[in-house]
Structure 1
């Protein structure tokens, strides 16, 4: 009889995102979720990929300071519309504006990942860009989608795992869960490097 693999150190997801929690649960490794305290305001001139990487690392480091013996995962996603960062809309009105801007365009969703452990000195980052081509959307489609999904906590208002898939023409990426919020192929690689047993 085989038992589930146990990590050598406690594992913490530095996030309160229900999407990331569900994705990390797929790995069947015990973990806790802790809210990071990080200012997510972009710096002047900061490009979306750099913003996502900076915030992912800041989230991991913030939680790691409180739990120095744990392996901590931080992640962040920023929608990149021709170099302009689009974050979580927060409100219906902002979501409408975001979807109008993305209609008929190609958007790169930059999903960054950081894994750190203060006690061992381990720290690595990675980013999974996902190229998404949006259909040309009319106002009725935008309203119907937003009322149905209320994706106000999703970068760029795009909830691809739900009805948001109907907004899209194409998705190009090499890490299938990246668009949802946590690139699991890269997460597995960094966790193995940090000494967390998975299989």
Structure 2
């Protein structure tokens, strides 16, 4: 019988607390599973309004993702200046159209219909702030091809994942049954989940949050 894994044994000296400025269950689970203990603080940010404004100004999807990640991190960092604060954001670009997270099951189904049979790009940005200022960031992209999806499959898939469909911009969970949606995925697995994890862990090691 195998022993249970205890990822917290890989945490560093803990000179600075680490805070995740996000309400994302997936990001929190990812960080904790990787052995980085984090406190969760969800910032109050009107992402939709900023996206509209930045797009009108000609910003790229990567620029928008980084702007929003930094804004989230800085918002919490100003209240927790002693901590390393992680902010993250993900954009989905389908042939020039940007998707937001669906708010309802019907919205998730509509996302999946639009993605069906097409290739789209995910842009994931992560920012670390300290004392209210960005001190590091990284942007990664992934390209995903969705197979043609039947209405029957979309309905059964949404039944299977429930409210988790509302957790991602694409309404899918690649780490579980969402893998059935795709013909190919080009890019880092963690980027698809919404957080460029490996570069972030490298940065956290340099700041004592993880063992070297």
Question: Which residue among 23, 29, 49 is the counterpart of 1:22?
Answer: 29
Contact 2:16 2:82 in 1 (8 A): yes
- SS of the residue aligned with 2:87? strand
TM superposition score normalised by structure 2:
0.85
Please give the residue correspondences for 1:88-167 in structure 2 after superposition, counting only pairs within 5 Å.
Answer: 88-118=101-131, 123-150=135-162, 151-167=165-181
Match of 2:16 in 1: 9
For structure 2, the 5+ residue unaligned runs are 1-8
Q: Structure 1 residues 198 and 122, CA, compared in 2 at 3 Å: closer, same or farther? A: farther
Question: Which residue among 150, 163, 172 is the counterpart of 2:186?
Answer: 172
1:72-113, CA deviations, whole angstroms, 9 ceiling, x for partnerless residues?
000111211122111210111111111111111111111110
Structure 2 distance, partners of 1:25, 1:3, is 11
For structure 1, the 5+ residue unaligned runs are none
Q: For the aligned residues, what is the CA RMSD? A: 1.9
Instruction: Kindly tell me the number of residue pairs found equivalent between the two proteins.
Output: 196
Question: Which residue among 72, 76, 79 is the counterpart of 1:59?
Answer: 72
Match of 1:43 in 2: 52
